[in-house]
Amino acid sequence: MSQPLNTEPLSGKLTDAYITPNQLVFNRNHESALPASVEQVTTSSWGSAESWTLTVSAYGTDNRHTGSLSGSPRVLSLEQLQRQFALSHVVATLECAGNRRSELADSHPEPEGIQWGNAVIANVIWGGASLRAVLLAAGVADPFAHHTSEQQSALEPSEQSSSSQAAEWARSLHLHLLSAQKSKSNDAEQAQFAASIPLTTAMHPNQSCLLAYEYNHHPLTPRHGAPLRAVVPGHVGARWVKWLSALKISSSPSDSPPMREDYKLLTPRTGQEGEKEYADKAQDGDFRTRELDKKQPIQRLEASCAITQPAHDAELLDQADGKAAVKGYAVGQDGSPATNVWVALVADPGKDTETDGLLRNLPDDLHWHHASILHQDAADPSQTGWSWAWTLWHVQMPVPSDVTSYAIIARCSTAAGVEQPKISPWNLRGFCNRSWSVVRHVSVPHT
């Protein structure tokens, strides 16, 4: 049986362009029943674009707020979706929750999963129908109807608008996003690749969720979810369901494998057991199930930045001006873009020192250089305050001549003032590594 398609572009190449070219967008696919390899994912396997339908339904919720959906599901053809709803665009980073996983192995037991570097991320112009518009058209009451534009800076309905019944009603609900892709065990419905997001996320005007059929103004390709995929800005890639065939409003979150048993942060209790001990215990199915049951599925991604150049162990030859070019990307949080990046340089303490140790013992008088922002969202976040795109940055770092091997450290903060955490907690699956970015053992040959 062939493996699903999983690819990561070269980190150094990734930040050459603000908008990630389609051929540099990573591929992440879970195993599925049919077809085994995503190279074989032609639309004919799960239905052609011509016969594709999106079913919208609501169940188990107060039907006063679901309009026409209360009686029967609404079925939209792809063609209807494209004709009846304006083509909307959002520039948003798609980031796998496992981005930067391999970096954790430097200071911890190796997390389970594909050992991704820092390039399972892409900044793309997504195009499609607004998810909010589709739900409103289906008769779903607007939880944000009583919001002033000022109040929309909060991602949840305000207290004030909670006095409106629709906002109160929507607060506890979920929108399920179901794929036509069957998971490995293909009998139960819950084994379908699926996710759910809070209904208020799906319906927030500034969250810009899309039912996408284009990327970078080209038709979406089958490997990236054609004919239709969910775009859920600010949320882990696992919720951006590909080959999307149904939406369901429900009073409970999705129980699908990517929600129930996959994308969760499994961490040992501090002081009670070591990471290695925990990783060993988690090989036992019952223990793992108990641990999983205690955790909520991962949804939002937090602020983070990563150095894409130079690479670890790089030898910088052209040092005529005594400066090293450092560049990378930075992502914001909850719709507030990363607007500040700082970079510092220290003598590398050598291979015996773990990166977490290096970060914990940084000198107090470390000199941080403010990086220049190369590109940020053209949608002018200063107007709306909102952006789901990454920021590219660079800086020319002065390299002290007495240092032969050094480490470069980068950190960021968002327009809203959220700081990237210095060290993210280790977790069994290595999800959501948001630690300051560190490139180790960079050397300058001294002549």
Nearer to ligand MTE, 6 or 443 (CB): 6
In the numeric block, which tokens belong to residue 354?
Answer: 């773990």
Q: Which of 96, 203, 265, 409 binds ligand MTE (CB under 6 A)?
A: 96
Nearest alpha-carbon partner for 72 in 143, 138, 4, 121: 138
b/e 243-274 (16+ beta carbons within 10 angstroms → b) = bbbbbbbbeebbbbbbbbebbbbbebeeeeee
* Neighbouring C-beta atoms of residue 47, cutoff 10 Å: 15
Q: How big, in percent rounded to 5, are the helix, strand and coil portions of the chain?
A: 25, 30, 50
Nearest approach, Cβ of residue 32 and ligand MTE (Å): 7
The reply on whether position 96 binds Mo ion by CB under 5 A is yes
* Binders in 232-261 for ligand MTE, by CB under 6 A: 237-238, 240-243
Nearest residue to ligand MTE on Cβ basis:
237
The reply on whether position 22 binds ligand MTE by CB under 6 A is no
Q: Give the whole-angstrom CA distance, residue 121 versus residue 50.
A: 30
Nearer to ligand MTE, 124 or 141 (CB): 124
Nearer to Mo ion, 121 or 341 (CB): 121
Nearest approach, Cβ of residue 237 and Mo ion (Å): 4
Nearest alpha-carbon partner for 414 in 442, 440, 391, 444: 391
Give the per-residue contact string, 44-83, with ligand MTE (x = CB under 6 A; - = no). Answer: ----------------------------------------
Nearest approach, Cβ of residue 26 and Mo ion (Å): 9
The reply on whether position 121 binds Mo ion by CB under 5 A is no
Helix (H, G, I), strand (E, B) or coil at 398: strand
In the numeric block, which tokens belong to residue 31?
Answer: 């195993």
Compute how many residues bind ligand MTE; rule: CB under 6 A.
19
What type of residue sits at position 16? Answer: D
Nearer to Mo ion, 117 or 237 (CB): 237
The reply on whether position 193 binds ligand MTE by CB under 6 A is yes
Nearest residue to Mo ion on Cβ basis:
96
* Binders in 223-252 for Mo ion, by CB under 5 A: 237-238
E strand or H helix at 126:
strand 121-130
Among Mo ion, ligand MTE, none, what does residue 433 contact (CB within 5–8 Å per kind)? Answer: none
Nearer to ligand MTE, 46 or 393 (CB): 46
In the numeric block, which tokens belong to residue 47?
Answer: 């239905």
The reply on whether position 415 binds Mo ion by CB under 5 A is no
Instruction: Sort strands 53-59 and 244-250 into parallel, antiparallel or unpaired.
Output: parallel
Q: Which of 30, 288, 295, 422 binds ligand MTE (CB under 6 A)?
A: 30
* Binders in 342-401 for ligand MTE, by CB under 6 A: none
At a CB cut-off of 8 Å and minimum separation 6, what does 244 contact?
54, 177, 178, 179, 180, 211, 225, 228, 229, 230
The reply on whether position 26 binds ligand MTE by CB under 6 A is yes
Nearest alpha-carbon partner for 350 in 406, 408, 422, 309: 406
Binding footprint of ligand MTE on the chain (CB under 6 A):
25-30, 94, 96, 179, 181, 193, 224-225, 237-238, 240-243
Binding footprint of Mo ion on the chain (CB under 5 A):
28, 96, 237-238
